Amino acid sequence: MELEKHPYNKNFSWSVPNGPYSYLNSGQVESFSKDGFIILHKVFDADFMKKIISIIDPFEAQITENLKEFNEGKFFISRSEEITFTTHLVTQSKELKKFSKDKVFSSLCLDLIGKDVRLYWDQAVYKKGGTKDEFPWHQDNGYTFLEPQSYLTCWLALTDTDETNGCPWVVPKIHRQGTLKHKITDLGYEIPLDSSQAIPIHLSAGSMAVFSSLTPHRTGPNITSQVRKAYILQYAPDGAVRKINDSVTELASEENRQFLIVEKGKSIN
């Protein structure tokens, strides 16, 4: 399936580190390289996820209240009564900053990115009960173009998720084409994608989908009465550059939120 590429996507070549590996086995790395994602079950205890929720909930509640000040409670991709994005939590919580450096994440960074890695972005995404709309097919690098194009998204389930409440779906193998052209819709950036090969990812609280920033993914409606809660942490190679437009770039190294996780092959606590 060849799709139209992003205009900044030139001479892209996919690769992953050769190992030795710190957290994953060679089969898992091979699967990630081939399909663009892996699933890690029960990485964290469900009770620990409740603690993480208790930290995030007040910040998300404030975001919800702030959104209500906008027309119809909407601002870009956020909708107060449907889906919220609570960003840069590591700048607001010492506990979450420490969590972002957990050995699990630093080891995944060593295995799938390299020896010098920074946190690039963190956000809680709450999809609220009764949300009928999907969050459309996109690549994370389609929102803000980063070079190198491939970084790591850790989609951590804080609550159990499946098709009934908006679990993630992915389309494998397309990541090897690099960043694709997205169109802007009312629901967010979108790739016009044939989703016949899409795979739903069921996750229990504390489990995680790990995928490339180039892996097309979406989340479906939440037809339940409960909030589906996820915490997304993204990691990029040290030295990654955000391309704002043809003439303006920005180094992804803002120390209060884009700090080193791995340096010279060693985890930073």
Look at residue 194 and tell me if it is in a domain. Answer: yes
Residues sharing a CB contact under 8 Å with residue 76, sequence separation 6 or more, in sequence order: none
Interior/surface letters 147-156, b for 16+ CB within 10 angstroms, e for the rest: bbbbbbbbbb
Poorest-pLDDT segment among 18-22, 70-74, 93-97: 70-74
Domain membership of residue 174 as a residue range: 26-264
User: Which pLDDT value is given to residue 195?
Assistant: 85
* Total domains in the fold of the chain: 1
Look at residue 11 and tell me if it is in a domain. Answer: no
pLDDT of residue 189 exceeding 90, the answer is yes
CA-atom Rg of the chain in angstroms? 18
- Over the stretch 245-265, which tens digit does the pLDDT of each residue have? 889 999 999 999 999 999 999
Look at residue 48 and tell me if it is in a domain. Answer: yes
Poorest-pLDDT segment among 17-31, 47-61, 67-81, 245-259: 67-81
Look at residue 16 and tell me if it is in a domain. Answer: no
User: Which pLDDT value is given to residue 269?
Assistant: 79
User: Which pLDDT value is given to residue 120?
Assistant: 98
Which CATH number fits the domain that encloses residue 256?
2.60.120.620
pLDDT of residue 65 exceeding 90, the answer is yes
User: Which pLDDT value is given to residue 19?
Assistant: 85
pLDDT of residue 74 exceeding 90, the answer is no
- pTM to 2 decimals? 0.96
If DSSP codes are grouped into helix, strand and coil, which group holds residue 95?
Answer: helix
Between helix 103-112 and helix 26-35 the angle, nearest 10°, is: 70
Percent of the chain surpassing pLDDT 70: 100
User: Which pLDDT value is given to residue 1?
Assistant: 64
Percent of the chain surpassing pLDDT 90: 90
Look at residue 13 and tell me if it is in a domain. Answer: no
- Over the stretch 104-134, which tens digit does the pLDDT of each residue have? 999 999 999 999 999 999 999 999 999 999 9
Look at residue 2 and tell me if it is in a domain. Answer: no
Look at residue 3 and tell me if it is in a domain. Answer: no
Look at residue 10 and tell me if it is in a domain. Answer: no
**Minimal CA–CA distance to 214: which of 56, 60, 33, 27?**
33
- Give the single-character DSSP code of 110: H
